[in-house]
Homo-oligomer: A and B are copies of this chain.
Protein backbone atom coordinates (compact mmCIF):
# COMPACT_ATOMS: atom_id res chain seq x y z
CA UNK A 1 0.00 0.00 0.00
CA UNK A 2 2.73 2.43 0.93
CA UNK A 3 4.62 4.20 -1.81
CA UNK A 4 6.62 1.20 -2.92
CA UNK A 5 9.42 3.32 -4.12
CA UNK A 6 12.53 1.36 -3.40
CA UNK A 7 13.91 3.58 -6.10
CA UNK A 8 17.49 4.56 -6.34
CA UNK A 9 18.35 6.67 -9.33
CA UNK A 10 16.39 8.32 -12.11
CA UNK A 11 12.66 8.50 -12.27
CA UNK A 12 11.02 5.48 -10.66
CA UNK A 13 9.39 3.12 -13.11
CA UNK A 14 5.81 2.05 -13.48
CA UNK A 15 4.66 -1.52 -13.29
CA UNK A 16 4.39 -1.74 -17.04
CA UNK A 17 7.83 -0.36 -17.56
CA UNK A 18 9.32 -2.91 -15.24
CA UNK A 19 7.45 -5.63 -17.06
CA UNK A 20 8.69 -4.43 -20.42
CA UNK A 21 12.24 -3.98 -19.23
CA UNK A 22 12.50 -7.37 -17.61
CA UNK A 23 10.64 -9.14 -20.35
CA UNK A 24 7.99 -10.52 -18.03
CA UNK A 25 4.34 -9.69 -17.96
CA UNK A 26 2.62 -7.20 -15.71
CA UNK A 27 1.09 -10.00 -13.75
CA UNK A 28 4.34 -11.67 -12.94
CA UNK A 29 5.91 -8.43 -11.96
CA UNK A 30 2.99 -7.53 -9.83
CA UNK A 31 3.12 -10.85 -8.03
CA UNK A 32 6.68 -10.34 -7.02
CA UNK A 33 6.43 -6.70 -6.05
CA UNK A 34 3.33 -7.26 -3.97
CA UNK A 35 4.98 -10.12 -2.14
CA UNK A 36 2.80 -12.78 -3.66
CA UNK A 37 5.73 -14.50 -5.27
CA UNK A 38 5.63 -17.48 -2.93
CA UNK A 39 1.92 -17.78 -3.17
CA UNK A 40 2.02 -18.00 -6.93
CA UNK A 41 5.22 -20.00 -6.97
CA UNK A 42 7.14 -17.60 -9.14
CA UNK A 43 10.45 -19.17 -10.14
CA UNK A 44 13.22 -17.87 -7.85
CA UNK A 45 15.42 -16.68 -10.69
CA UNK A 46 12.53 -14.76 -12.19
CA UNK A 47 11.82 -13.21 -8.90
CA UNK A 48 15.44 -12.32 -8.29
CA UNK A 49 15.69 -10.74 -11.68
CA UNK A 50 12.66 -8.57 -11.18
CA UNK A 51 13.56 -7.64 -7.65
CA UNK A 52 16.98 -6.71 -8.80
CA UNK A 53 15.65 -4.47 -11.50
CA UNK A 54 13.26 -2.80 -9.10
CA UNK A 55 16.00 -2.30 -6.54
CA UNK A 56 18.09 -0.68 -9.19
CA UNK A 57 15.53 1.56 -10.87
CA UNK A 58 12.79 1.99 -8.33
CA UNK A 59 9.12 1.36 -8.79
CA UNK A 60 6.11 3.31 -7.78
CA UNK A 61 2.65 2.01 -8.45
CA UNK A 62 0.42 4.79 -9.65
CA UNK A 63 -2.07 5.53 -6.96
CA UNK A 64 -4.58 7.18 -9.25
CA UNK A 65 -4.69 4.27 -11.65
CA UNK A 66 -5.09 1.85 -8.80
CA UNK A 67 -7.86 3.95 -7.35
CA UNK A 68 -9.66 4.04 -10.66
CA UNK A 69 -9.53 0.31 -10.94
CA UNK A 70 -10.29 -0.64 -7.36
CA UNK A 71 -12.67 2.18 -6.61
CA UNK A 72 -10.87 2.84 -3.39
CA UNK A 73 -8.93 5.95 -2.55
CA UNK A 74 -7.36 5.13 0.80
CA UNK A 75 -8.52 8.54 1.85
CA UNK A 76 -10.88 9.64 4.55
CA UNK A 77 -12.66 12.93 4.67
CA UNK A 78 -13.27 15.03 7.74
CA UNK A 79 -15.84 17.78 8.01
CA UNK A 80 -15.72 19.98 11.08
CA UNK A 81 -17.21 23.38 11.84
CA UNK A 82 -13.85 25.06 12.22
CA UNK A 83 -10.39 23.66 11.96
CA UNK A 84 -8.91 26.56 13.89
CA UNK A 85 -10.97 25.66 16.93
CA UNK A 86 -8.68 23.98 19.45
CA UNK A 87 -10.98 21.05 20.08
CA UNK A 88 -11.41 20.22 16.43
CA UNK A 89 -7.78 20.87 15.70
CA UNK A 90 -6.81 18.25 18.24
CA UNK A 91 -9.43 15.87 16.96
CA UNK A 92 -8.12 16.38 13.45
CA UNK A 93 -4.55 15.78 14.53
CA UNK A 94 -5.55 12.54 16.22
CA UNK A 95 -7.48 11.33 13.22
CA UNK A 96 -4.70 12.28 10.89
CA UNK A 97 -2.31 10.23 12.96
CA UNK A 98 -4.51 7.18 12.67
CA UNK A 99 -4.93 7.64 8.97
CA UNK A 100 -1.23 7.88 8.45
CA UNK A 101 -0.59 4.78 10.51
CA UNK A 102 -2.97 2.85 8.31
CA UNK A 103 -1.67 4.17 5.02
CA UNK A 104 -4.48 6.59 4.44
CA UNK A 105 -4.64 10.34 4.02
CA UNK A 106 -7.00 12.79 5.62
CA UNK A 107 -8.89 15.37 3.60
CA UNK A 108 -10.14 18.21 5.74
CA UNK A 109 -13.02 20.56 5.17
CA UNK A 110 -14.76 23.17 7.30
CA UNK A 111 -18.46 23.82 7.43
CA UNK A 112 -18.29 27.03 9.46
CA UNK A 113 -21.40 25.81 11.20
CA UNK A 114 -23.35 26.35 8.02
CA UNK A 115 -25.61 23.64 6.69
CA UNK A 116 -25.09 24.55 3.07
CA UNK A 117 -21.33 24.56 3.25
CA UNK A 118 -21.46 21.34 5.15
CA UNK A 119 -23.46 19.74 2.41
CA UNK A 120 -21.06 21.05 -0.19
CA UNK A 121 -18.08 19.78 1.74
CA UNK A 122 -19.60 16.33 2.02
CA UNK A 123 -20.49 16.29 -1.65
CA UNK A 124 -16.99 17.34 -2.61
CA UNK A 125 -15.40 14.71 -0.44
CA UNK A 126 -17.67 12.00 -1.77
CA UNK A 127 -16.95 13.13 -5.28
CA UNK A 128 -13.30 12.65 -4.50
CA UNK A 129 -14.16 9.11 -3.63
CA UNK A 130 -13.15 9.06 0.01
CA UNK A 131 -13.56 5.64 1.56
CA UNK A 132 -14.76 7.08 4.80
CA UNK A 133 -16.23 10.24 6.21
CA UNK A 134 -16.01 11.65 9.70
CA UNK A 135 -18.34 14.51 10.32
CA UNK A 136 -19.17 16.82 13.19
CA UNK A 137 -22.55 17.79 11.77
CA UNK A 138 -24.03 21.20 12.32
CA UNK A 139 -27.57 19.97 11.94
CA UNK A 140 -29.55 16.79 11.84
CA UNK A 141 -27.72 14.60 9.34
CA UNK A 142 -30.95 13.45 7.80
CA UNK A 143 -30.26 15.89 5.01
CA UNK A 144 -26.99 14.18 4.19
CA UNK A 145 -28.58 10.85 3.67
CA UNK A 146 -29.48 11.15 0.00
CA UNK A 147 -25.86 11.89 -0.88
CA UNK A 148 -24.80 8.70 0.86
CA UNK A 149 -27.57 6.51 -0.49
CA UNK A 150 -26.27 3.73 -2.63
CA UNK A 151 -22.67 4.35 -1.66
CA UNK A 152 -20.56 2.10 0.41
CA UNK A 153 -18.70 5.04 1.90
CA UNK A 154 -18.21 4.56 5.62
CA UNK A 155 -19.61 7.32 7.81
CA UNK A 156 -19.43 8.29 11.44
CA UNK A 157 -20.58 11.35 13.33
CA UNK A 158 -18.50 12.87 16.08
CA UNK A 159 -19.15 15.33 18.89
CA UNK A 160 -22.77 15.88 18.07
CA UNK A 161 -25.36 13.28 18.75
CA UNK A 162 -28.31 13.90 16.50
CA UNK A 163 -30.70 11.13 17.23
CA UNK A 164 -31.51 10.49 13.62
CA UNK A 165 -27.99 9.73 12.46
CA UNK A 166 -28.23 6.39 10.65
CA UNK A 167 -24.57 5.63 11.36
CA UNK A 168 -22.31 5.48 14.42
CA UNK A 169 -22.03 8.55 16.59
CA UNK A 170 -19.14 9.20 18.93
CA UNK A 171 -19.63 11.89 21.53
CA UNK A 172 -18.58 13.16 24.93
CA UNK A 173 -20.83 12.78 27.97
CA UNK A 174 -22.18 16.28 27.89
CA UNK A 175 -25.15 16.07 30.17
CA UNK A 176 -23.50 14.14 32.97
CA UNK A 177 -20.38 16.26 32.81
CA UNK A 178 -22.41 19.45 32.83
CA UNK A 179 -24.32 18.36 35.87
CA UNK A 180 -21.17 17.48 37.75
CA UNK A 181 -19.53 20.69 36.71
CA UNK A 182 -22.49 22.87 37.64
CA UNK A 183 -22.81 21.07 40.95
CA UNK A 184 -19.21 21.76 41.80
CA UNK A 185 -19.46 25.38 40.75
CA UNK A 186 -22.45 25.88 43.00
CA UNK A 187 -20.77 24.15 45.88
CA UNK A 188 -17.78 26.43 45.56
CA UNK A 189 -19.47 29.71 44.75
CA UNK A 190 -22.57 29.02 46.71
CA UNK A 191 -24.70 31.54 44.92
CA UNK A 192 -25.87 33.03 41.69
CA UNK A 193 -24.56 31.43 38.54
CA UNK A 194 -24.78 32.52 34.93
CA UNK A 195 -24.83 29.99 32.13
CA UNK A 196 -23.39 31.35 28.90
CA UNK A 197 -23.81 29.15 25.90
CA UNK A 198 -23.96 29.08 22.15
CA UNK A 199 -25.95 27.06 19.69
CA UNK A 200 -28.58 25.53 21.96
CA UNK A 201 -29.87 23.63 18.97
CA UNK A 202 -26.77 21.46 18.94
CA UNK A 203 -27.27 18.21 20.79
CA UNK A 204 -24.02 18.68 22.68
CA UNK A 205 -25.10 22.06 23.95
CA UNK A 206 -28.60 20.88 24.69
CA UNK A 207 -27.07 18.19 26.86
CA UNK A 208 -25.00 20.73 28.70
CA UNK A 209 -28.02 22.87 29.33
CA UNK A 210 -29.94 19.91 30.63
CA UNK A 211 -27.11 18.98 32.94
CA UNK A 212 -26.91 22.52 34.24
CA UNK A 213 -30.63 22.61 34.93
CA UNK A 214 -30.48 19.32 36.73
CA UNK A 215 -27.75 20.60 39.01
CA UNK A 216 -29.65 23.79 39.67
CA UNK A 217 -32.71 21.78 40.61
CA UNK A 218 -30.67 19.58 42.88
CA UNK A 219 -29.31 22.65 44.62
CA UNK A 220 -32.83 23.98 44.93
CA UNK A 221 -31.91 27.29 43.42
CA UNK A 222 -34.61 29.55 42.14
CA UNK A 223 -34.74 31.24 38.79
CA UNK A 224 -33.20 34.51 39.89
CA UNK A 225 -30.02 32.76 40.81
CA UNK A 226 -29.58 30.65 37.70
CA UNK A 227 -29.83 32.44 34.43
CA UNK A 228 -29.43 31.04 30.97
CA UNK A 229 -27.80 33.24 28.37
CA UNK A 230 -27.82 31.76 24.91
CA UNK A 231 -26.53 32.87 21.56
CA UNK A 232 -27.02 31.44 18.13
CA UNK A 233 -23.39 31.53 17.11
CA UNK A 234 -20.38 30.19 18.92
CA UNK A 235 -18.23 33.29 18.73
CA UNK A 236 -16.32 35.25 21.33
CA UNK A 237 -18.17 38.42 20.40
CA UNK A 238 -21.45 36.70 21.17
CA UNK A 239 -20.17 35.54 24.52
CA UNK A 240 -19.11 39.07 25.28
CA UNK A 241 -22.49 40.40 24.28
CA UNK A 242 -24.31 37.96 26.51
CA UNK A 243 -22.08 38.65 29.45
CA UNK A 244 -22.36 42.39 29.04
CA UNK A 245 -26.10 42.10 29.09
CA UNK A 246 -25.97 39.88 32.15
CA UNK A 247 -23.79 42.32 34.03
CA UNK A 248 -25.96 45.24 33.12
CA UNK A 249 -29.09 43.48 34.26
CA UNK A 250 -27.97 41.67 37.37
CA UNK A 251 -24.41 42.69 38.17
CA UNK A 252 -21.52 40.26 38.29
CA UNK A 253 -22.54 36.71 39.13
CA UNK A 254 -20.64 34.58 41.60
CA UNK A 255 -20.00 31.96 38.99
CA UNK A 256 -20.23 31.50 35.24
CA UNK A 257 -20.48 28.33 33.25
CA UNK A 258 -19.64 28.37 29.56
CA UNK A 259 -20.37 25.84 26.88
CA UNK A 260 -17.21 26.52 24.94
CA UNK A 261 -13.88 28.25 25.13
CA UNK A 262 -15.05 30.84 22.66
CA UNK A 263 -17.90 31.79 24.93
CA UNK A 264 -15.53 31.94 27.86
CA UNK A 265 -13.27 34.18 25.87
CA UNK A 266 -16.13 36.56 25.31
CA UNK A 267 -17.08 36.41 28.97
CA UNK A 268 -13.57 37.38 29.96
CA UNK A 269 -13.60 40.22 27.51
CA UNK A 270 -16.85 41.60 28.83
CA UNK A 271 -15.62 41.36 32.40
CA UNK A 272 -12.40 43.11 31.57
CA UNK A 273 -14.31 45.80 29.74
CA UNK A 274 -16.61 46.26 32.69
CA UNK A 275 -14.27 45.94 35.62
CA UNK A 276 -10.83 46.37 34.15
CA UNK A 277 -9.98 42.78 34.96
CA UNK A 278 -11.62 39.46 35.66
CA UNK A 279 -12.94 39.66 39.25
CA UNK A 280 -10.76 37.33 41.25
CA UNK A 281 -13.56 35.75 43.20
CA UNK A 282 -15.50 34.72 40.14
CA UNK A 283 -15.65 30.97 39.82
CA UNK A 284 -15.47 29.75 36.26
CA UNK A 285 -16.67 26.55 34.69
CA UNK A 286 -16.19 25.65 31.07
CA UNK A 287 -16.13 22.90 28.53
CA UNK A 288 -12.81 22.20 26.90
CA UNK A 289 -9.61 23.22 28.53
CA UNK A 290 -6.69 25.38 27.60
CA UNK A 291 -3.39 25.40 29.44
CA UNK A 292 -3.37 29.18 29.70
CA UNK A 293 -6.40 28.99 31.91
CA UNK A 294 -4.02 27.75 34.56
CA UNK A 295 -2.34 31.12 34.52
CA UNK A 296 -5.58 32.94 35.23
CA UNK A 297 -5.81 33.44 39.00
CA UNK A 298 -9.47 32.50 39.24
CA UNK A 299 -10.77 29.16 40.31
CA UNK A 300 -11.51 27.45 37.02
CA UNK A 301 -13.09 24.08 36.49
CA UNK A 302 -12.94 22.67 33.01
CA UNK A 303 -14.40 19.60 31.40
CA UNK A 304 -11.61 18.45 29.19
CA UNK A 305 -12.80 16.39 26.31
CA UNK A 306 -10.87 13.34 25.35
CA UNK A 307 -10.04 14.12 21.74
CA UNK A 308 -7.83 11.09 21.47
CA UNK A 309 -10.50 8.78 22.77
CA UNK A 310 -13.05 10.32 20.45
CA UNK A 311 -10.75 9.96 17.46
CA UNK A 312 -9.89 6.44 18.42
CA UNK A 313 -13.50 5.37 18.66
CA UNK A 314 -14.55 7.21 15.53
CA UNK A 315 -11.75 5.71 13.54
CA UNK A 316 -12.46 2.22 14.82
CA UNK A 317 -16.04 2.43 13.68
CA UNK A 318 -15.00 3.86 10.38
CA UNK A 319 -12.61 0.98 9.79
CA UNK A 320 -15.28 -1.49 10.77
CA UNK A 321 -17.54 -0.16 8.05
CA UNK A 322 -14.78 0.00 5.49
CA UNK A 323 -14.05 -3.61 6.25
CA UNK A 324 -17.53 -4.45 5.13
CA UNK A 325 -19.50 -3.91 8.29
CA UNK A 326 -22.92 -2.28 8.08
CA UNK A 327 -23.80 1.29 8.95
CA UNK A 328 -25.45 1.09 12.31
CA UNK A 329 -26.81 3.87 14.47
CA UNK A 330 -24.54 3.01 17.38
CA UNK A 331 -23.89 5.57 20.10
CA UNK A 332 -20.48 5.68 21.71
CA UNK A 333 -19.86 7.92 24.70
CA UNK A 334 -16.31 8.91 25.52
CA UNK A 335 -16.27 10.52 28.93
CA UNK A 336 -14.42 13.76 29.52
CA UNK A 337 -12.40 14.63 32.56
CA UNK A 338 -13.13 17.39 35.02
CA UNK A 339 -9.98 19.42 35.53
CA UNK A 340 -9.87 21.43 38.72
CA UNK A 341 -6.78 23.08 40.09
CA UNK A 342 -3.94 21.38 38.30
CA UNK A 343 -1.59 19.81 40.78
CA UNK A 344 2.13 20.45 40.56
CA UNK A 345 3.79 18.61 37.75
CA UNK A 346 0.59 17.96 35.91
CA UNK A 347 1.11 17.89 32.20
CA UNK A 348 -1.85 19.79 30.95
CA UNK A 349 -0.18 20.71 27.70
CA UNK A 350 -0.25 19.09 24.35
CA UNK A 351 -0.45 15.33 24.55
Q: Is A107 an interface residue (CB 8 A)?
A: yes
Interface-central residue, A2, A75, A100, by most chain B CB under 10 Å: A100
Q: Is A294 an interface residue (CB 8 A)?
A: yes
Nearest B residue to A264 by beta-carbon distance? B292
Please name all residues of chain B whose beta carbon is closer than 8 Å to the beta carbon of A92 when the two chains form the complex.
83-84, 89, 108
Q: Is A236 an interface residue (CB 8 A)?
A: yes
Please name all residues of chain B whose beta carbon is closer than 8 Å to the beta carbon of A3 when the two chains form the complex.
123-124, 126-127
Which of A62-70, A132-140, A312-320, A327-335 has 4 or more CB atoms under 8 Å from chain B? A62-70
A265-B291 in contact (CB<8A): yes
B292-A63 in contact (CB<8A): no
B350-A262 in contact (CB<8A): yes
Q: Is A86 an interface residue (CB 8 A)?
A: yes
Nearest B residue to A273 by beta-carbon distance? B344
Q: Is A301 an interface residue (CB 8 A)?
A: no
A127-B60 in contact (CB<8A): yes
Mark A210-248 against chain B: 1 for CB-CB distance below 8 A, else 0: 000000000000000000000000011100000000000
B110-A96 in contact (CB<8A): yes
| CB under 8 Å from chain B, chain A span 144-193 | 150
Q: Is A272 an interface residue (CB 8 A)?
A: yes
Q: Is A203 an interface residue (CB 8 A)?
A: no
CA distance in complex: A109, B128 (Å): 18
For A296, give its contact among B96, B262, B296, B351 (CB under 8 Å).
Answer: B296
B237-A349 in contact (CB<8A): yes
CA distance in complex: A96, B82 (Å): 10
User: In angstroms, how far is the closest chain B Cβ from the Cβ of A54?
Assistant: 16
Q: How many residues on the A side are at the interface (Cβ–Cβ under 8 A)?
A: 69
Interface-central residue, A64, A86, A107, A266, by most chain B CB under 10 Å: A64
Mark A91-128 against chain B: 1 for CB-CB distance below 8 A, else 0: 01100110010000111111000000000010111111
Please name all residues of chain B whose beta carbon is closer than 8 Å to the beta carbon of A96 when the two chains form the complex.
83, 108-110
Please name all residues of chain B whose beta carbon is closer than 8 Å to the beta carbon of A293 when the two chains form the complex.
292
Nearest B residue to A300 by beta-carbon distance? B295
Q: Is A5 an interface residue (CB 8 A)?
A: yes
For A350, give its contact among B64, B65, B82, B348 (CB under 8 Å).
Answer: B82
Q: Is A53 an interface residue (CB 8 A)?
A: no
User: In angstroms, how far is the closest chain B Cβ from the Cβ of A79?
Assistant: 11
For A107, give its contact among B60, B107, B344, B350 (CB under 8 Å).
Answer: B107
A83-B89 in contact (CB<8A): yes
B93-A129 in contact (CB<8A): no
Interface-central residue, A93, A121, A124, A150, by most chain B CB under 10 Å: A93
Q: Is A31 an interface residue (CB 8 A)?
A: no
Chain A residues close to B by CB (< 8 Å): 2-3, 5, 11, 60, 62-65, 67-68, 71, 73, 75, 82-86, 89-90, 92-93, 96-97, 100, 105-110, 121, 123-129, 150, 235-237, 261-262, 265-266, 268-269, 272-273, 277-278, 290-297, 344-345, 347-351
- Contacts A/B (CB < 8 Å), 18 sampled: A3-B126, A11-B150, A64-B73, A64-B129, A83-B89, A83-B93, A84-B86, A85-B89, A92-B108, A96-B108, A96-B109, A105-B107, A106-B108, A236-B349, A265-B292, A266-B349, A292-B293, A296-B296
